[in-house]
Structure 1
Amino acid sequence: MRFSTANTENPNKFNFVKKARYFFIFSIIITVLGILTLGIFGLNYGVDFRAGSSVDIAVKKDLTGQKTEIEKFLVDNDFGKPGLTVGASRVTLRFDEVLNPTKEKALKQGFAAKFDKDASAEVNTVDVEIAKELQWNALKAILVASIGIVIYVSIRFEWRFAVAAIVALLHDAFIVISLFSIFRLEVNLPFIVAVLTIIGYSINDTIVIFDRVRENMRFAKIKSKLDIARVVNESIWQTLTRSVNTVMTVVVAALCLLIFGSEAIKLFSLAILFGLISGAYSSIFIASPLWLVLKNKQKPKTAVKSSTVI
């Protein structure tokens, strides 16, 4: 795989096409590490995707400094060591097993008596069959979204753009999934919503660059592969400011949700943040150079047949 551009390129401007091989290698390494991590550790599924009970307790007191005491209370009363999140106004427990009515009652009464008499608890239970169905439906949602994007981009542009776009957005989704696996963050239904949002954001940013590439190809005098590479590089530069400004404004909003939002949306905000950064990276450094690789494999008689290649 070799990238090069015409000698008329401005030497002071970063050449995205010429350096693309390094970004490809970096993404391949991250992908391999992600596969290894998922193979070894898997994902930390929440109650939404595995059988168990989720207990959300609304409290009037701030119990953030009493996490150790809550853990001891749970162990002493034979509730084991569930996943525990303590916020200023909410305590969340995640049990791997389904709590029966007797244990539910004992937990509510014991917690209220020891920590906050005004506490109110809500228990949500997911059985094994529902958990499996939710996992499969989540995979179907991502698959259907990806197929729809491929069909649309193939019709609106061409199949090479579609292949490059789908590789970029799957790259973004996989990066987020791998990071959640590495840091053992909980995967629940809001996480799936975040992944679908990331896919939509990533394809939107990628399409903007692809549209500029297509417009520039229409008016460029294409005589060699070097000319196509020059068009791709210039197209990325022409849309770079827009891409950076867009991602930065959304990153600020995601950071505010992460810092000031409730415990219920923190993991959602974190997934969005990971995806925004990965989406900007793949749109700029992966998608268009990958399209160029596919375009250069086109037969010469059709690749440079006229000035209107696409």
Structure 2
Amino acid sequence: MSFSTFGNDLYSGKRSVPVVPQRRRFYLVSLVVLAIAVGGLLFKGLNLGLEFRGGSEFRVAATSAPADYEAKAREAVRSSGEGNSANITKLGTGTIRIQTERLSDEASAKVKAALVQTFGVQDKDVSATFIGPSWGTTVSQKALQALVIFLLLVALVMALYFRTWKMAAAALVALGHDMVITVGVYALTGFEVSPATMIGFLTVLGYSIYDTVVVFDKVRENTAEAFANGRSTYAQAANLAVNQTMVRSINTTVVGALPILAVLIVGIVWLGPGVLLDLSLVLFIGLVVGAYSSIFIATPILVSLRRRDPAVVDLEKRAKRSQAARAKVAARTGGTGSDSSDESSPTAPSEPAAGVDGEATAYRPSGAEGVDGASTVTGRAVHKWVQAGQTGQTGPRNQPKRTPKSRR
């Protein structure tokens, strides 16, 4: 079975992924992952970049970095007598970056001279820069302000658009889920947090809320239909909405993640640490986590928040009565008809029977019930002149008969 067929079956209700009925399992999975992420933040912490903690940075623009560049750079810093620790990385194919704690001008000159001598380059090929922590502090404050404003606007807009604060609350819980897990991945893996990471982090939150809004819009459509006809419960209508948007969410995530993954691989293999790598890394992690939360977390939380609403409780009673009545009809008719699929997907659209104007045209064989008892499967009486076996009419009504081949 192809992926497109699977998606069509999910949309029509022929197949169903029990996201809402088994929501406690997804809650448990998320709680375990959240606990691991919080543990990483508490016991390991984030690897903040030089822009946030402050310090000195040296760059050696060599034509090609030697294989043991890290050991040589560390030995050069140690031999100068300045800097107890150094973070050494390779940028691209030749440039070597050395980051240390804050050094005085005299100490920076000693480290620079040691690097020139160790790598055999000219003095102009080694640059020394001091970065103060105040710049990183300003970036952090602005990012937190942007995050708070973003969350407030999201809550306000969603509450007005969907006309219920519970959808806004469910969306914010899903956003918090994405934030904690993404930050926890950085803490556990030791990836460096740079200003580009903060920008990518805010971008990911925008994608996550967009995907959640698409799912919630379908939930609102299905639940409104359920309240109108009383054929399904709120949970069943919401689960069908998740199934109908699942393939779309997966496709969007894959299409968005593939180019980001390509940039990430290029950054790791060829370019090394930098803005491109930091931005692509947080985007890739956030896209995957955001897709998971929009499918398996946001809607189940919404159902949990609304399950005690009087309107939802009344709908559940109506739906159970409707489904019980349809089950009795299906049992009397031998399980045939469109009602046979109502239990698995009560809101799934039924396919019309083949025939003229969507009406079933299968006739009972002549003689089965006599002339007077002939009828269609819809129960309508059939005229004796047009009973099966007594007419050559095989196409639509009121159409001329085709001339037999023997007389053409």
- Larger deviation: 223-232 or 172-181? 223-232
Which of 88, 96, 103 matches 1:99? 103
Task: Specify the SS of the correspondent of 2:297.
Answer: helix
Which of 205, 209, 219 matches 2:215? 209
Distance 1:221 1:271, change over 3 A: same
What displacement does 1:288 show? 0.8
What displacement does 1:204 show? 0.8
Taking the aligned partners of 1:25 and 1:222, their CA distance within structure 2 comes to: 34
TM-score (norm 2): 0.66
Match of 2:156 in 1: 151
Task: Specify the SS of the correspondent of 1:60.
Answer: coil
What displacement does 1:92 show? 2.0
Q: Check if 1:86 corresponds to 2:90.
A: yes
What displacement does 1:222 show? 5.5
Q: Check if 1:134 corresponds to 2:145.
A: no
Aligned CA RMSD, in angstroms, stands at 2.7
Task: Specify the SS of the correspondent of 1:80.
Answer: coil
What displacement does 1:297 show? 2.6
Task: Specify the SS of the correspondent of 2:233.
Answer: helix
Q: Check if 1:187 corresponds to 2:193.
A: yes
Match of 2:391 in 1: none
Superposition pairs for residues 18-37 of structure 1, below 5 Å?
18-37=21-40
Q: Check if 1:61 corresponds to 2:64.
A: yes
Q: Check if 1:268 corresponds to 2:279.
A: yes
Task: Specify the SS of the correspondent of 1:14.
Answer: coil
* Cα deviation digits, residues 63-82 of structure 1 (max 9, x gap): 45422222222222223321
* Cα deviation digits, residues 18-49 of structure 1 (max 9, x gap): 12111111111222222222122221211222
Task: Specify the SS of the correspondent of 1:270.
Answer: helix
Distance 1:187 1:53, change over 3 A: same
Letter in 2 for 1:52: G
TM-score (norm 1): 0.86
* Cα deviation digits, residues 269-308 of structure 1 (max 9, x gap): 222111111011000000011111111132348974999x
Q: Which has the larger radius of gyration?
A: 2
* Cα deviation digits, residues 187-220 of structure 1 (max 9, x gap): 1211111210110110111111111111222333
Which of 307, 310, 313 matches 1:296? 307
Task: Specify the SS of the correspondent of 1:113.
Answer: helix
Letter in 1 for 2:169: V
What displacement does 1:176 show? 0.9
Taking the aligned partners of 1:303 and 1:172, their CA distance within structure 2 comes to: 34
Equivalent residues of 2:56, 2:128 under 8 A apart: no
Distance 1:234 1:12, change over 3 A: closer
Equivalent residues of 2:211, 2:291 under 8 A apart: yes
Equivalent residues of 2:115, 2:126 under 8 A apart: no
Letter in 1 for 2:143: A
Taking the aligned partners of 1:221 and 1:214, their CA distance within structure 2 comes to: 10
Distance 1:10 1:134, change over 3 A: closer
Superposition pairs for residues 35-74 of structure 1, below 5 Å?
35-63=38-66, 65-74=68-77
Higher relative contact order by CA 8 Å / sep ≥ 6: 1 or 2? 1
Equivalent residues of 1:295, 1:303 under 8 A apart: no
Equivalent residues of 1:225, 1:296 under 8 A apart: no
Distance 1:303 1:48, change over 3 A: farther
Letter in 2 for 1:100: S
* Cα deviation digits, residues 78-117 of structure 1 (max 9, x gap): 233211112313222222x222222333333332333233
Match of 1:5 in 2: none
Aligned residues: 297
Identity %: 26
Q: Check if 1:121 corresponds to 2:97.
A: no
Taking the aligned partners of 1:240 and 1:63, their CA distance within structure 2 comes to: 49
* Cα deviation digits, residues 226-275 of structure 1 (max 9, x gap): 62111111111111121111111111111111111332022332221111
Match of 2:403 in 1: none
What displacement does 1:132 show? 3.5
What displacement does 1:224 show? 7.0
Letter in 2 for 1:108: K
Letter in 2 for 1:93: I
Taking the aligned partners of 2:184 and 2:139, their CA distance within structure 1 comes to: 20
Distance 1:55 1:214, change over 3 A: farther
Q: Check if 1:167 corresponds to 2:170.
A: no
Distance 1:148 1:113, change over 3 A: same
* Cα deviation digits, residues 118-159 of structure 1 (max 9, x gap): 6242514113x4444433333222222111111111111121
Match of 1:239 in 2: 245
